Amino acid sequence: MENYIENLNWRYATKKFDAEKSLSQEDVEKLQKSIQLSASSYGLQPYKVFVISDKETKEKLKAAAWNQSQLTDASHVFVFAGLKKLNEAYIDAYLENISKIREVQVQDLSGLKDMLTSNILGKTEEQQSVWAQKQAYIALGNLLSAAAHLKIDTCPMEGFDAQKFDEILGISGTNLSTAVIATAGYRSEADQLQHAKKVRKQEEELFHLI
């Protein structure tokens, strides 16, 4: 646990990446696994994640992110796209997966299906979209922590044109919409922020013990 805290202190939102350094495939797979294993409401994971290393695509994304250099200098770009709307077929597929993995009969999950149908499908389309994006942010948090553990630098970002990202990724007009992104790679020696002290609220201000 001590190492985990040290790694969180080590990480920061890297603004300047070393464009000459790339993540190994093994580390990319570890980061993907951290996202796959992330907590999500009911375990539904109402999002997809695009993992981009293609230089041409990153150049296009950079233009849609006000030319922020992280998009092209970082080794990889992780784009979290939330579902706009869930339907009964999505829930059924989730229950089928539970049935297969846990070796239970789908009909034994009828109570869970009723709850999910009521709680999720009972939301408006706008509420479902907001909820899905919140779940994507939870997965983003897992990515950032896992990257810090691997001493991989990241920069979570909201400064981009979501509609243009959707167009570039070919998801315009689909049931997906870009929610948040993170770049991942290795910090440049020229990035002065790496030497800045981390600024956070004091524990007594942040936590209220009851």
Average pLDDT, the chain: 97
Mean pLDDT value of segment 47-71: 98
Q: What percent of the chain has pLDDT over 70?
A: 100
Please, are residues 183 and 76 in contact by the beta-carbon 8 Å criterion? yes
Mean pLDDT value of segment 109-131: 97
How confident is residue 1, by pLDDT bands cut at 50, 70 and 90? Answer: confident
Q: In the chain, what are the domain boundaries? A: 2-35+49-84+129-193
Give the pLDDT score at 64: 98
User: Which pLDDT tens digit goes with each residue over 28-39?
Assistant: 999 999 999 999
How confident is residue 57, by pLDDT bands cut at 50, 70 and 90? Answer: very high
Q: Is the pLDDT of residue 111 over 90?
A: yes
118 class by beta-carbon count within 10 Å (0-12 exposed, 13-18 middle, 19+ buried): exposed
CA geometry: angle 98, 105, 36, nearest 5 deg: 5
The rounded distance, in Å, linking the Cα atoms of 190 and 80 is 28
DSSP, residue by residue, the chain:
-HHHHHHHHH--B-SSB-TT----HHHHHHHHHHHHT---GGG---EEEEEE--HHHHHHHHHTTTT-THHHHSSEEEEEEEES---HHHHHHHHHHHHHHHT--GGGGHHHHHHHHHHTTTS-HHHHHHHHHHHHHHHHHHHHHHHHHTT-EEEEE--S-HHHHHHHHT-TTSSEEEEEEEEEE-B-TT-GGGGSPP----HHHH----
The rounded distance, in Å, linking the Cα atoms of 8 and 186 is 15
Architecture per CATH, 2-35+49-84+129-193: 3-Layer(aba) Sandwich (3.40)
User: Which pLDDT tens digit goes with each residue over 145-180?
Assistant: 999 999 999 999 999 999 999 999 999 999 999 999
Enumerate residues 6+ apart whose C-beta is below 8 A from 121: 86, 87, 88, 91
Please, are residues 106 and 99 in contact by the beta-carbon 8 Å criterion? yes
